[in-house]
């Protein structure tokens, strides 16, 4: 897996991966839908391998799926990492940003970057303005960059040499 120089880079890449996975999923659904409609409307019978062979579309979809399989797996691993940063290793809210800063911080990051929502929609979901959501995101990214992804995932802060439980006092979300 690629290394990212900042939380912003990680989450921008995760957002791109989420968008790409959704695009591929929709393309495959459209291809499957086209497969089902070919020939059924007219009840056509066609010889296998002929120019109008309806199985040609099925074969094309299967070929595309196999080519996209590795890319989808890479994208899903990246999205899993980013979700773990938000909610912890088990993605249960007992680690990650949700533990260290609060669920609001994790939810804002998740909805915008992994849920691929706009800032306006993210704000509607969490009950804050888009500008306030961005300010909260900036605090979260600074926090991740300061402690490191692995420590955030495990809900750990950094002492001088040894990891420890992070300070559970949470910064107040910035005013609008």
Residue 176, in any domain of the structure? no
pLDDT value at residue 48: 54
In-domain check, residue 19:
yes
Q: With a cut of 70, which residues of the chain have pLDDT below it?
A: 1-2, 32-54, 57-58, 61, 157-172, 174-176
**pLDDT value of residue 42:** 47
Whether 123 maps to a domain, the answer reads yes
Does the residue 33 lie in any domain? yes
Contact 72, 101 (CB under 8 A): no
> Does residue 170 lie within any of the structural domains?
no
| Residue 142, pLDDT score | 97
pLDDT in tens, 98-140: 999 999 999 999 999 999 999 999 999 999 999 999 999 999 9
What range does the domain containing 134 cover?
7-165
Q: Is residue 15 part of a domain?
A: yes
Asked, for residue 175, whether it belongs to a domain, the answer is no
pTM over 0.85: no
Number of domains comprising the chain? 1
Domain annotation covers residue 86: yes
Question: Which one, of 54, 79, 66, lies nearest residue 24 by Cα?
Answer: 66
């Amino acid at each position: 897996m690629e290394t990212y120089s900042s939380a912003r880079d990680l989450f921008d890449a995760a957002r791109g991966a989420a968008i790409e996975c959704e695009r591929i999923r929709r393309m495959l659904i459209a291809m499957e839908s086209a497969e089902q409609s070919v020939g059924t409307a007219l009840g056509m019978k066609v010889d296998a391998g002929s120019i109008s062979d309806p199985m040609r579309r099925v074969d094309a979809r299967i070929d595309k799926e196999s080519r996209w399989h590795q890319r989808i797996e890479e994208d899903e691993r990246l999205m899993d990492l980013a979700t773990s940063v938000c909610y912890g290793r088990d993605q249960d809210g007992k680690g990650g940003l949700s533990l260290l800063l609060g669920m609001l911080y994790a939810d804002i990051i998740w909805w915008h970057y992994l849920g691929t929502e706009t800032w306006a929609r993210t704000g509607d979901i969490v009950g804050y303005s888009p500008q306030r959501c961005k300010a909260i995101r900036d605090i979260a990214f600074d926090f991740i960059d300061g402690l490191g992804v692995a420590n955030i995932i495990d809900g750990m802060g950094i002492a001088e040499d040894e990891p420890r439980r992070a300070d559970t006092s949470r910064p107040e979300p910035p005013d609008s």
